[in-house]
Chain A
Amino acid sequence: GENVEQHPSTLSVQEGDSAVIKCTYSDSASNYFPWYKQELGKGPQLIIDIRSNVGEKKDQRIAVTLNKTAKHFSLHITETQPEDSAVYFCAASRSNYKLTFGKGTLLTVNP
C-alpha cells in the first residue's frame, strides 16, 4: 500500500518568515495530494490540494509543489502569522478517495 513520509515533525519560525514542509510517497499511481491543517481540539481541514497533472498551485500565502518523478511534494507558507500555528498533514491518494496521511508537522509561529 501507499506510504507517506513527512518532514520535519516540528517546525518553529518567526512571524513573517516562510515555512516549508516536505512529503514523499511510495505509490507511483497516486495522483491526488492534499494538505490538511489541524488546530487543537478540532478535526483536520483541507487547506490546499494538487493533482498529478499540475506541478504547482498557489492560494494567497500558501503554495504546493509536486515532483512526480521524485515522488515528493511540499507545502510552502509565506509571511507566516501566529494563526498559522497548527499541525499540518500531507496525504496521498489514487482516485479512490482513500487517503494515506503523513505523521504531521507541528508548526509554531512565534510573534
Chain B
Amino acid sequence: DAGVIQSPRHEVTEMGQEVTLRCKPISGHDYLFWYRQTMMRGLELLIYFNNNVPIDDSGMPEDRFSAKMPNASFSTLKIQPSEPRDSAVYFCASSPIYIHEAFFGQGTRLTVV
C-alpha cells in the first residue's frame, strides 16, 4: 500500500479564496483524521470520521472549515474563505479498527497571503 496520500503537498493562496485539501486513506482503514500543525499550537485534531461518518468535529476552529468523506477512499477539508492565520501544515491520518496507530500522510503545507 502507498500509505495515506495527500494533495496538494504545497498550497499558496490569497486571503479570501477557497482552499480544498484532499486525502486518500489506506485501504481498509475505518478511521480518518484531519490534524493541523503549527509552531504555536502543535498538532491539533480538527475532525475524525468512522466509516465515512463524522464522529467528532469539536476541533474545527470555525464555520469557515468543513470536512467531508463521501466514500471510504476519499476525504476533503475545505476552508472558505481562507485567512492568513489558517497557514499551517494539515495532516490526514487513518487507522484500522481495533488498532490505535494513526498512519499519517506527508501533509499539505498551506500558506495564505
**Bind each other:** yes
Q: B-contacting residues of A (Cβ < 8 Å)?
A: 32, 34, 41-46, 49, 89, 93, 97-104
Which B residues lie within 8 Å of A43 (CB)?
A: 4, 91, 93, 104-107
Taking the closest CB of chain A, its distance from the CB of B40, in whole angstroms, is 9
Which A residues lie within 8 Å of B50 (CB)?
A: 97
Q: Would you call A101 and B100 a contact (CB within 8 A)?
A: no
Q: List 17 A-B contacts (CB under 8 A).
A: A42-B106, A43-B91, A43-B104, A45-B104, A46-B101, A49-B101, A93-B100, A97-B102, A98-B45, A98-B48, A99-B33, A99-B45, A99-B102, A100-B45, A102-B42, A103-B42, A104-B43
Given A32-B100, A43-B91, A93-B100, A101-B48 contact (CB < 8 Å): no
Mark interface residues in B98-113 (1 if CB within 8 Å of A CB, else 0): 0011101111000000
B contacts with A: majority SS = strand
Among candidates B56, B95, B100, B104, residue contacting A44 with C-beta atoms closer than 8 Å:
B104
Q: From residue 1 to 42 of chain B, which have CB atoms closer than 8 A to chain A?
A: 4, 31, 33, 42
A-B contact sample (9 more), CB < 8 A, given A97-B95, A99-B33, A101-B42: A42-B106, A43-B91, A43-B106, A49-B101, A97-B48, A97-B100, A97-B102, A98-B56, A101-B44
